[in-house]
Amino acid sequence: MNDGKPYSEQIKPFNFMNTAFVPRGERPLEDQRMVLVVPYERDSTRWLQTPWWNRYSGREYRLTLEPAHGRVRPGIVRPRSYHDVLAGYLTNEEAKSADSTGEPCRAGTRGLLNRRRVLIKTLTHIGKESNRLEDAQSGLIEDIDEIVNQYDDYYDRVFVPLAVPVLRDLGVRETHRRTGHSVGAVSKALARENPSRPEQAQIRTYVAVAELHARGQLENAGTLPSTDPTAVLRQYRDRHCRTNISCPDGWTGP
């Protein structure tokens, strides 16, 4: 944003800015993570003529008040209006409530709501969301996971039960090739008895490789993978256990 501008016109720490939110249905398929920003401009009549930037991808966009209605409009998006915000309250899904049948609330749920039944699957300790508090309050953070501190053991929660079985299917040599870790390190990490615990950065690499393989296998089988990497591994595990009499390689059924 500052390229080619004199210092007096550049964005600096503690400058103000405008923010625009774009409904997911109005976002380009290749740029779904979106929060638009622009140097502060008080005159609203200039907002449609001003170029905006997606703070995640750095791509430039122009605003329009015309809905896309499924049309592809490169570099043009419609921001969320006050009308959109108010209308959203009418179909807001109450995450903590259930409908009359006990199912989670949906956009079209009507009638008296009940409290949802909670089943504990994992315990994750998180800190208060005081990280980047100003960014969160101003709407610059789209996903709360960006700023939440998690203190659970990722190794025991994700790597061992979900990633290791996938990597064992790939084999030591192929896992070594895809991760770049040494054959010896991979062999120790995937060992069935007394495995060694990799460094945290290595664990993330292993999980990413496992998730990519699992995603490809699900797509080849005609299953739409989740957008969440951990959920993809669970999908793969569940499908594996459904299509096999037992769940080998340390997996247990869903």
Residue 192: closest CA among 245, 254, 251: 251
Measured between its terminal Cα atoms, the distance across the chain in Å is 48
Comparing 110 with 164, which gets the higher pLDDT? Answer: 164
pLDDT tens for 15-40 read 688 999 998 889 998 888 899 999 88
pLDDT at site 189 = 94
- Number of helices (H), then strands (E), belonging to the chain: the values are 8, 7
pLDDT at site 225 = 84
What is the identity of the amino acid at 180?
G
Residues 6+ apart with CB under 8 A from 215: 225, 232
Q: What is the DSSP string of 72-99?
A: --TTEEPPPPHHHHHHHHHT---TTEE-
Which whole number is the average pLDDT over 195-216? 91
pLDDT at site 142 = 60
Which whole number is the average pLDDT over 166-188? 94
Q: How confident is the model at residue 254 (pLDDT cuts 50, 70, 90)?
A: very low
Comparing 249 with 89, which gets the higher pLDDT? Answer: 89
Comparing 133 with 39, which gets the higher pLDDT? Answer: 39
75: pLDDT strictly greater than 80? yes
Q: How confident is the model at residue 96 (pLDDT cuts 50, 70, 90)?
A: confident
148: pLDDT strictly greater than 70? no
**Mean residue pLDDT across the chain:** 82
**Tokens at residue 158, please?**
């994700």
User: Helix axis angle, 200-220 relative to 229-242, nearest 10°?
Assistant: 50
Sign of CA dihedral 181, 184, 187, 190: negative
Which whole number is the average pLDDT over 208-230? 89
